[in-house]
Amino acid sequence: MPKHLFEYAVIRVVPRVEREEFLNVGVILYCPAQGFLKTVFELNVARLSAFCREIDLPELHERLRAFERICAGRREGGAIGQLPIASRFRWLTANRSTIVQTSPTHTGLCDDAGETLSRLFEQLVQQ
């Protein structure tokens, strides 16, 4: 039976915030017992371009890379990247009205947080 509590959220691209339409592009997972906070994302250019022709893909990619830097907890993550791991997860998953948003957080149990992140990414983004 899995024994470690984890929390995750789906990372969404919301090109027109007022329309509340989105595409899932990544997952962020936090497992306190394993000291794990990581995000994985993929920009499917064909899908994104079909969804919103005006989207600035380099800017979007940079915003998602900021999630990675904050998760890593190093200086490259700026002031937020220096916060404790739980605070970084809460900051990244806070409600916001920007082109990059996250779903509500969900919980589960796992043995291996990295494996769980890969499985969730495949199920929620790649399929």
Element (H, E) at 126: none
Mean per-residue pLDDT of the chain: 95
pLDDT in tens, 58-103: 999 999 999 999 999 988 899 999 999 999 999 999 999 899 999 9
- Compute the residue count for the chain: 127
d(CA 120, CA 13) in angstroms, rounded, equals: 17
Please provide residue 23's backbone torsions phi and psi, each rounded to the nearest 5 degrees: -120, 135
Give the pTM.
0.93
pLDDT in tens, 22-34: 999 999 999 999 9
Three-state secondary structure call for residue 13: strand
d(CA 61, CA 120) in angstroms, rounded, equals: 20
